[in-house]
Structure 1
Amino acid sequence: MNAAPPKSNSTNSVAELFWVFLRLGLSSFGGPVAHLGYFRAELVTRRGWMTEAAYADLVALCQVLPGPASSQVGMGVGLLRAGGWGLIAAWLGFTLPSGLLMFAFALGLGRLGDLGGAGWLAGLKVAALAVVAQAVSGMARNLTPDAPRLTLAGMVAALILVFPYSWVQPLALLMAGGLGWRWLSAPEPAMSDSLNAPVSRRAGAALLLFTLALLLILPLLAAVSGRADLHLLSVFTRAGALVFGGGHVVLPLLQAGLVPDLLDASTFVAGYGAVQAMPGPLFSFASYLGAAASTGLNPGYGALVATVGIFLPAALLVAGVLPFWSSLRLRPGFQSALAGLNAGVVGLLIAALYTPVFTSAVQSGAGGNTGLALALIAYVALSAWKLPPWAVVLACAGVGALAL
């Protein structure tokens, strides 16, 4: 099975990407780690768009890049299948539902009140626990089949659990890659397992240089012109480019750039609470902030500028680095490092399975043992009954509303 079909820019291919990722954007609850589980179930297991190894390679790449890892994985899949328009279609489909919901919340849907204790939200967290557990078990079988790689996964998981800082995650993955390069032996993969990006190295280098220039020039343009939209774009682009370790890390960066000059603290916190109940990427918080910020801009325009700004570095980086990644991973020496890096991804998922997924869904959630029992049933439904993740999510939400 090919890791990625030949590049196609057909309307049908782009439209298919949009609809597949729109469905994922409507049903992927639980944060970036859970999103990777949903992606794997839909794109690898169900549709066969990528092999397990190719998917793990793409996840590993996006974990060491700054930006929202799950959104970057989706962008990478879109780029591999249908070029630049495929990247845009995958991003737009995955982001549109939560972005529109957060924009609506900024326009007044905050009357719903505090959603933190809602039973249906507790059910969604339980569903995320089952999805991540299934992803961990499936990826572990394929990526940590022997004692050395399982040991690397355990080391990465332990390191992240003991030192729960955002910068530790990419550092731990790089450590796993270095140890793999030194100690592991891995066969060179078939060409069909590679990530053949439809971007040349020259174009990739140009995209990386453009990203750097954008980060340097935008603040100067905003300061010189005094334009509110350029200032907003600068704040969100800088935040999106400096995030390592998941979407939650972007919050202090955004708070520093917006509060109190453009937004009061209570409005900021209210939006943060609401985005926890949304499907799709946490970065859709930008849609709320762009609409709610006191910039003098039309709320719709502000939301658009902020949303594009926070995701733009992620898109440029994944498109710029992917052509080099595809070449590097085919070198025999690099394969050993990649085997270690893939084992590290399993360790990352193991650590995340405990915190924040398990601790949020069971330890701190409503229902106690009831929540854990529901998670076990959901895991069996996914693994043994092969039910689609969206059906399990809806069922858990319904049960949660009644029992949690």
Structure 2
Amino acid sequence: MQQRKWFTEVEYTELLALCHFLPGPASSQVGMAIGYRQQGVLGSLIAFVGFTLPSVLLMVMAALLLQSSALTETLNGVLHAMKLLAVAVVADAVWGMAKKICITRVKTAITLITAVTMLVVPGLSSQLTVIFLAGLVGAVFLAQSGSSVQPLVEKGSSWLSPVCLVVFAGLLLGLPWLASYSPSLELVDTFYRAGGLVFGGGHVVLPMLQAEPLVQSAISSEQFLTAYSFAQAVPGPMFTIASYLGVAYQGSWMDGLIATAAIFLPGWLIVIATLSLWPKIKSISLLSGAMQGVVAATVGLLVAALYQPVFVSAVLSPSDMAIVLSVWALLCIAKLPVWSVVIAVATFGGVFL
């Protein structure tokens, strides 16, 4: 970015902060924002397609392949090994996020209470409740003065921000009502809500999707964890898990593309809406505190997801646990590249599991 003189280092750091502050897929939103700054709305869409399309195609093809052919013993072994890899990856993600986020007693308490609540009372309503309460607690106990920042876009259409915000909120509130009258919209509603309510992106989308009634009723735990394993293995944003799950829903590649568009749409709307408003948003101390509380709650959601469905669906024996620990050592102690660990684990699973 500095070589192309698109951003200064300070501006790019501020952009990263904004995208981690907002709901949605942070890495994809960074790309959308870069495209928007360079070429407006069309540039943001082109940047999104360029960043996401390879992963989407791989996920859709994987889902179609696994649904159209009976699993061989070798492929079963590969998939089981990939699930064990997912356990190690999520555990590392939980630990890494906890070290960075749970740095005060209030944040640690929010994380622990969220995790306990979701383990005892799982479900979408519980999830939304703890996120809302975490925001309130954060607004009260974590509010602080925001720093002075410069706009990330120098100019833009004055009507675009309010329009995007209205569309974002209107779909978030209106899709559940529309889906109750038109079942064909249930898929869009499910993935739009997941993309619009996830703070932290990446692995945090796992518990949000797993709590959705449509996913629970139409997609088995094994399919869900397989989707997560493939999303971890292929390059690109974790949100492309929607591409696999959409295909798994009814076996249609079109459903995979619809689910993908639905889960990324709220992130695009909210980042375009807030680029020019970021300095004002960050200066509101109560809102800043509320977001810190919500982010702490997402760590708790991930802790609960580490147990169910990730751990209980993958670790079926002491030898499985030994493999998880070995994979974790390769990733976190040996510091091997993720792609090399994926290849090694898949090969091991195909030969020995």
Change (3 A) 1:103 1:251: farther
Matches within 5 A, 1:67-216: 72-82=25-35, 83-105=44-66, 109-112=68-71, 118-186=76-144, 188-189=146-147, 191=149, 202-207=159-164, 209-210=166-167, 212=170
Amino acid at match of 1:203: L
Change (3 A) 1:344 1:310: same
Amino acid at match of 2:191: G
Amino acid at match of 1:284: Y
| Alignment-derived partner of residue 240 in structure 1 | 191
CA distance in 1, matches of 2:347, 2:103: 37
CA distance in 2, matches of 1:354, 1:131: 13
Contact kept in structure 2, 1:120 and 1:400, CA below 8 Å: yes
Matches within 5 A, 1:242-391: 246-248=208-210, 252=214, 276-278=225-227, 279-280=230-231, 281-287=241-247, 303-304=253-254, 306-322=255-271, 323-324=273-274, 326=278, 327-362=280-315, 365=316, 368-391=317-340
Contact kept in structure 1, 2:132 and 2:294, CA below 8 Å: yes
Change (3 A) 1:104 1:111: same
| Alignment-derived partner of residue 297 in structure 1 | none
What TM-score, normalized by structure 1, do the two folds share?
0.62
Unaligned runs of 5+ residues in structure 2 are 36-43, 198-206, 232-240
CA distance in 1, matches of 2:33, 2:159: 17
Q: Secondary structure at the match of 2:346?
A: helix
CA positional deviation for 1:252: 2.9
Unaligned runs of 5+ residues in structure 1 are 9-47, 63-71, 224-230, 256-267, 293-302
Contact kept in structure 2, 1:102 and 1:288, CA below 8 Å: yes
| Alignment-derived partner of residue 21 in structure 2 | 57
CA distance in 2, matches of 1:130, 1:197: 43
What TM-score, normalized by structure 2, do the two folds share?
0.70
Aligned residues: 309
Contact kept in structure 1, 2:191 and 2:242, CA below 8 Å: no
CA positional deviation for 1:164: 0.8
Cα deviation 1:111-138 (Å, max 9, x = unaligned): 33699x9222221111111111111111
CA positional deviation for 1:99: 0.8
Cα deviation 1:48-106 (Å, max 9, x = unaligned): 98998656434xx23xxxxxxxxx44532331332222222333232110112334456
CA positional deviation for 1:385: 2.0
Change (3 A) 1:337 1:213: closer
Cα deviation 1:311-355 (Å, max 9, x = unaligned): 333333222223348453442222222221221122112111222
